[in-house]
Structure 1
Amino acid sequence: MNQDYILPNNWSIIEEGFDADRVKSSESLFSIGNGAMGQRANFEEHYSGSTFQGSYIAGVYYPDKTKVGWWKNGYPEYFAKVLNAPNWIGINVEINGENLDLATCKSVAHFKRELNMKEGWYSRSFEAVLQNDTQIEVKVIRFLSLDIDELGAIRYEIVPVNTDAKVVFKPYVDAGIENEDTNWEERFWETLELKNQDNQAFVVARTLKTNFTVATYMHNSILVNETIADVKPVEVKKEAHSISFSYEIAAVKGQKVSIQKFGGYTVSTNHKEEYLISAAQKIITQATDLGFDRLLENQKLAWAKIWEMSDITIEGDVKAQQGIRFNIFQLNQTYLGKDSRLNIGPKGFTGEKYGGSTYWDTEAYCIPFYMATKDQNVARSLLEYRYNQLDKAIENAQNNLGFKNGAALYPMVTMNGEECHNEWEITFEEIHRNGAIAFAIYNYYRFTGDYSYIPEKGLEVLIGIARFWHQRATFSTNKNKYVILGVTGPNEYENNVNNNWYTNYIAKWCLDYTYAQIEKVKSEYTSDFERIMSKVTLNDTELQSWKNTADNMYFPYSEEHGVYLQQDGFLDKELITVADLDKSQRPINQKWSWDRILRSPYIKQADTLQGFYFFEDHFTREDLAKHFDFYEPFTVHESSLSPCVHSIQAAVLGRMEQAYTFYLRTSRLDLDDYNKEVHEGLHITSMAGTWMSIVEGFGGMRVKNDTLHFEPRIPKQWQGFSFKINFRNQIIKVNASHQGTTFSLEGETPVKVFVFGKEVVIEPNNIVTV
């Protein structure tokens, strides 16, 4: 049974009614971020119930020493932790001498949370009766500024309902925080300095080992009936890691009293350490000059601009509409492409699970979203992120695998280019991630038409990856083919298998593609070619050896079933389909031992079908149908990355009911908590797959020969859907309904597209109906 307490709404995520059992899930679902920092939707006031406190700063991490029972040679030294950052949102509240705590109130009524995705703010309101019988109404609104990305703002309003009340607001900043997922119960921060003046406070803290220094700041204003009052703190409390102020207000019954709190972080990655406090003071001045209301208006305008390009509309299905907007909203909260040092963490700013910031998810799922909804430079920055870490990838292959000659193995999880995933089966067996990084270079050129990245930077990455595949493949005299042994494919429910089809296929493709790009750069970009060759010392003998490996790669195949086998031993398994699996055993990753999972036929996520998705034009639709029909019945979709691929392929095959079901699962994975783990944080990177399932699945968008192709298909549950694509600086809007599809163009020159194989020319500011 999936959770279903989120109310259907086109533009907001809404929860009504207070339920302590839902607090952690809602803390994830109502998370906010602005690309530079983010936070779970923790209560500002003290809450003694079960909660997962989490504030996060982009790029700030800690190398938590790997914890394993038995150390194997080659284990990463540490598992990167996205750090729980100092808390700036805290505002404890005392009413007539009693602390406000929703876990201990006599009653809580009319509790409501709203995450307004259209305008980029989060609010919470409720009525409560405290143990001392004082009844109050509370309304809180908070947001993280997109314009000033080191600034957050909170307005916390209280109205005493049944009596006059002495209200004490106790705002604080606190660096004495811990991570939920620390391996050794270590503290990750040391506090360096506490400073306050007037209504401002600053706590400067530094991370251990990585030495990121952060000033966490706050500025408070007290309002009585909407007007800022000249109220100073009656007490300033300094402790080892925190500063708190106390503001006392005598509120008459029915009178609104409020605190406005500006806060956030200035970080040593952006400012000199000695200027962190003065940088925070400048932001406070900027914020107080504008004021809360103006900042909120600016927030609405900034989000309107994002939605103008990235919105997808769905008519006639509120839950489907809410799902896609939630996904697009969270992707934009996590990464806006402003800072090329950053990447997209699988949990974004919503939780600590998965530690590191960069997985193959970025290349396989996220780049298409950012290419099509933003400027192409955003996607190029994501490619450059990997180029900048090429030396570390070469070190990784050399030091851990003994590879030579500049072979590069990119990490499964990384913050700075070093591998920091602590499971052996993933770190050195799930090598297919190298292929996704190469595929993203190809995909970027295919979509943007910008070849310049390849001679400037991309070719060096491709050569390092090709060298890796060449050395990782082994010649089998038994098969008279090259084999790749001891791997884990995208389906992590099979470890240490031989000849995972997807891995072998993408390895062959990488070798062929790199060979072709070397030839192209050699003939068309001579000076770049000479510069690269002087760095990588590549000769014709090595190139011919690559070609030989690619031409003779082994692919396991079943004549009986007429399909490529996921790996050599797949047919040795007891092939019981998911439909015949007892529902009480799901999800198997929470019910079964790892040994039982590995011996089962169950597929965590698209594996062979991932290859059919990437290389669709290498196969016929009949091939796809045969492989889909064979593998989908064994797929449990216990990876967030799985349903979107299956939705796209079901749509290609015209199986709209299946495509729709998979779409709902991917778009509402967290809202409906399909995998029973939303309390740990949201699945940010798979949200890009949700976008793909509409644009590439139902919209049927592909790029072939520098031209956009569409095959729009519409689920019967919808009246229509629309999306925009920024294709080579021409913005095309697609609007599909059961009556037909319209195309319009925001650009200067006509664009030729193909719809179901038929050429259509879209003129600027003109609507074409097909």
Structure 2
Amino acid sequence: MNQDYIKANPWSIIEEGFSKEQVESSESLFSIGNGAMGQRANFEEHYSGETFQGSYIAGVYYPDKTRVGWWKNGYPEYFAKVLNAPNWIGIDVTINDVPLDLNTCKKVEHFRRELNMQEGWYKRSFVATLPNDVEVAVDVIRFLSLDLDETGAIQYNLQVLNTDAQVVMAPYLDGGIKNKDTNWDDKFWNITDIASEGNRAFVASHTMKTNFSVCTFMQSEVYVDGTKFDVKPTAKKNETSVGHSYIIDLGKDETLTLVKFGGYTVDRNHPKDKLQQAANAVLDKASALGFEALLQKQKEVWAQIWEMSDITIDGDVKAQQGIRFNIFQLNQTYLGKDSRLNIGPKGFTGEKYGGSTYWDTEAYCLPFYMATKNQEVAWNLLKYRYNHLKKAIENAQKLGFSNGAALYPMVTMNGEECHNEWEITFEEIHRNGAIAFAIFNYYRFTGDYSYIPKMGLEVLIGIARFWHQRVNFSEEKQKYVMLGVTGPNEYENNVNNNWYTNYLAKWCIQYALEQLKIVQESYSDDYKRIVAITNLTPSETEDWGKVAGNMYFPYSEKHEVFLQQDGFLDKKLVKVQDLEKSERPINQKWSWDRILRSPYIKQADVLQGFYFFEDQFSQEELERHFDFYEPFTVHESSLSPCVHSIQAAKLGRMEQAYTFYLRTSRLDLDDYNKEVKEGLHITSMAGTWMSIVEGFGGMRILNDQLCFAPKIPDQWQSYSFKINFRNQIVTIHVSADGNSFEITGNEPLTIQVDGKPVKLVPGETIRA
């Protein structure tokens, strides 16, 4: 049974009624972020029950020493941990000397929280009876500013309902924070200074080892029935925290309001010795605007984001809520302003998976950002990988590769591999191909070739060199083979000739050779520079071509399908539908040995290749492979349902496509994997967007043209979305009655709809 306490609503995530069992899950689901920082939806006031406190700063991490039972050559020295940062949201509340703590209250009524995705704020309200029988009503609204992205704001309203009372409001900063996810219980932060100045306070700290310097700051003001309470707070400091106390004699039904601004200034953006000065400047700006004006700006910025990125669905509120939740969280995690940042699998919602970057970014996230932002955002994602090329070469060297071969990391913060499970670190090398595919995909979509001669070709050369060195020539097969790999299906480790990996290797080499020729002919200066940097020779590229032209691909004549890897047919091929439900999910019910010997597929593997390279296979081949592999797929990766949804839609199997879509869009809201309390699945949320746009909408780029093949699930009346295609905004509206298209801009654009050319003209709605 999936969780179902989240209310269906097109624009908000809503929880009604207080349940201690749901607190940690809701802390994930109601998380907020602004690209520069984020936090779980922890209560501002103290909570003594089960809770997962989490605040995170983009790009700030700790190299937690690797912990393994048996060290192997080539292992990363550390696992890069997203750091739980000093907590600035805290507000201790005491009423007649009794703390407000929802875990110890006699009664909690009218509890409600809402994450308003349209306007970008989080609100919580309740009526509670304290152990001393004082009854209070609390209403809190909180947001992280997109306009001033080092700042967050809280407005905390409290009324005492049944008596006059003495209330102590004590906002604080807490630097004594530990990660929930840590290998050795190391101390991650060192506090260097704690300061209090009037109604402002600061905690200066730096990370151990990586030495990121951070100033955590706050400012608070108190009002009673809208009138400012003009008393200097009492400051209280210890070794790890600083707080301010306001003591107010509050009359029955009077409203006490505390406005708190807080956040972080970081030496990634300011000089190390000027962080408190920068914090004061940020607070000056926030104060000058005030809470309401800053909130209004928040609403305006989110309105601009939604103007381009929204997908509307009529007739299915749960589907509508699901896609907006996914789009909202993607925008909270990454806005493309800083090429040093990337999209972590948990974003700002938890600590699992450590580093900020996986192959998820290139395989799943890039299309969303290309189509809903300007192309500079996608460029920054590609630049991120170029900036890490030197580290990718070092990663390959550690594994015995040479001559500038590059192996991009499975998990990273700074380009250095920090994943330490051997079957993934050393063997899940298909991630290299996703980097090259993203370069191809960027040019295909934007028409901007400039990235390749400026940066991309060097990346492609490093990747091609890796694949060339990673294969062996089999005398028996008279083919090049790839031994000891793990494909996208991590329920198969250390296999030979994973079809997806072999196919990617072949494609990467061929693509690199094609781009070398284009750059040589059209960008001769860049070509000379790159050849000089890389020491590339004609004999080397000739050897690449031999590998690409003679790669081995396992194939079954009986089933007429490419085999996931050598020996796949040796397994006992029992379909998922024939498994007892009590056996699922197998990753929680079975031993690893049993999983590895089974035919069960964690996520799209062969079908991932058919998704990337669908134009190289016929519809009949797709159907044959889909029918063969999907029945063995358990979809226990968050990245799996979206690919299957897209392919089911292409095959016209709309009921199946819809089922997969609903699963991917509501993966966290309905907690399919029973793990949402650990954080959200941010990168797979981009796959949800693809399920609609590429799946139901059938969007493709073919022969340099934008193409659509729209379909609609029976459960929907209509849906619509926008695509920024080469700086022209195309709006698509699909209903059971037909499809309509509009274009914003000055130039007409010819697109393909169901294989026929359609000319879009600005100012006209075209039905097709």
In the alignment, which residue of structure 2 is the partner of 1:113? 113
Partner AA of 2:283 in structure 1: I
What amino acid sits opposite 2:120 in the alignment?
A: G
Question: Structure 2 CA distance, aligned partners of 1:587 and 1:30?
Answer: 26
Is residue 2:129 matched to residue 1:129? yes
Tell me the distance in 2 between the aligned counterparts of 1:78 and 1:591.
Answer: 30
Structure 2 equivalent of residue 189 of structure 1:
189
Cα distance between partner residues in 1 of 2:468 and 2:746 = 46
Give the alignment of 1:578-597 within 5 angstroms: 578-597=576-595
**How far is the alpha carbon of 1:227 from its aligned partner?**
2.6
Partner residue in 1 for 2:472: 474
Please point out which of 729, 740, 743 is paired with 2:741. Answer: 743
Aligned to 2:673: 675
Query: What is the match of residue 422 of structure 1?
Result: 420
Check if 1:207 corresponds to 2:203. Answer: no
Please tell me whether residue 256 in structure 1 is matched to residue 267 in structure 2: no
CA–CA distance in 2 between the matches of 1:313 and 1:328? 12
2:224 match:
224
State the distance in 2 between where 1:728 and 1:65 align.
Answer: 45
Match of 2:738, as an amino acid? G
SS in 2 for 1:245: strand
Give, as a single letter, the amino acid of the residue that structure 2 aligns with 1:346. Answer: P
What is residue 297 of structure 1 aligned with on the other side? 296
Aligned amino acid, residue 159 of structure 1: Q
- Shift in Å, 1:187: 1.5
Corresponding letter in the other structure for 2:670? D
SS across alignment from 1:624: helix
- Partner SS for 2:222: strand
1:126 match: secondary structure: strand
Partner of 1:51: 51
Match of 2:641 in 1: 643
| Superposition pairs of residues 303-342 of structure 1, within 5 angstroms | 303-342=302-341
Cα distance in structure 2, aligned partners of 1:218 and 1:190: 19
Q: What is the Cα deviation at residue 498 of structure 1? A: 0.3
Say whether residues 1:99 and 2:99 are aligned partners: yes
Aligned residue pair count: 768
SS in structure 2 at match of 1:44: coil
Q: Please give the alpha-carbon distance, in whole angstroms, between the structure 1 residues aligned to 2:197 and 2:431.
A: 51
Q: Distance in 2 between matches of 1:128 and 1:311?
A: 37
What letter corresponds to residue 507 of structure 1 in structure 2?
A
TM-score by length of 2: 1.00
Helix, strand or coil at the partner of 2:623:
helix
Q: CA deviation at 1:228?
A: 2.1
Secondary structure of 2:143's counterpart equals: strand
Query: For each residue in 1:584-624, what CA deviation from the matched residue of structure 2 results, as whole angstroms up to 9, or x when unmatched?
Result: 12111111111111111110000000000000000001000
SS at match of 2:194: strand
Superposition pairs of residues 166-565 of structure 1, within 5 angstroms: 166-233=166-233, 235-399=234-398, 401-565=399-563
Find the counterpart in structure 1 of residue 650 from structure 2.
652
1:139 equivalenced with 2:117 (yes/no) = no
Query: How far has the Cα of 1:75 moved from its partner?
Result: 1.0
Amino acid at match of 2:483: L
Note the alpha carbon deviations across 1:293-345, whole angstroms, 9 max, x for none.
00000000000000000000000000000000000000000000011110110
1:624 counterpart residue number: 622
Aligned to 1:607: 605
Find the counterpart in structure 2 of residue 29 from structure 1: 29
Q: Which residue of 2 aligns with 1:6?
A: 6
Q: Which runs of 5+ in 1 are unaligned?
A: none
* One-letter amino acid of the counterpart of residue 414, structure 1: T
Question: How high is the TM-score relative to the length of structure 1?
Answer: 0.99
Equivalents in 1 of 2:703, 2:228: separation in Å?
62
Deviations 1:110-151 (A, max 9, x none): 100100000000000000000000001000000000000000
C-alpha distance in 1 between matches for 2:396 and 2:263: 40
Q: Distance in 2 between matches of 1:542 and 1:151?
A: 52
Look up the SS of the partner of 2:338 in the other structure: coil
CA distance in 1, matches of 2:444, 2:264: 39
Q: Residue deviations 1:152-211, cap 9 Å, x none?
A: 000111110111111111110011000001111112001000111110000001100000
Q: Could you tell me how far apart the structure 2 residues matched to 1:278 and 1:517 are?
A: 49
Task: Quote the residue 1:732 is aligned against.
Answer: 730
The C-alpha deviation readout for 1:326-382, integer Å capped at 9, x for no partner, is 000000000000111101100000000000000000000000000000010100110
Q: Residue 63 of structure 1 aligns to which amino acid in structure 2?
A: P
The residue identity in structure 2 corresponding to 1:752 is T
Q: Distance in 2 between matches of 1:348 and 1:677?
A: 15
C-alpha distance in structure 1 between counterparts of 2:69 and 2:223, whole Å: 56
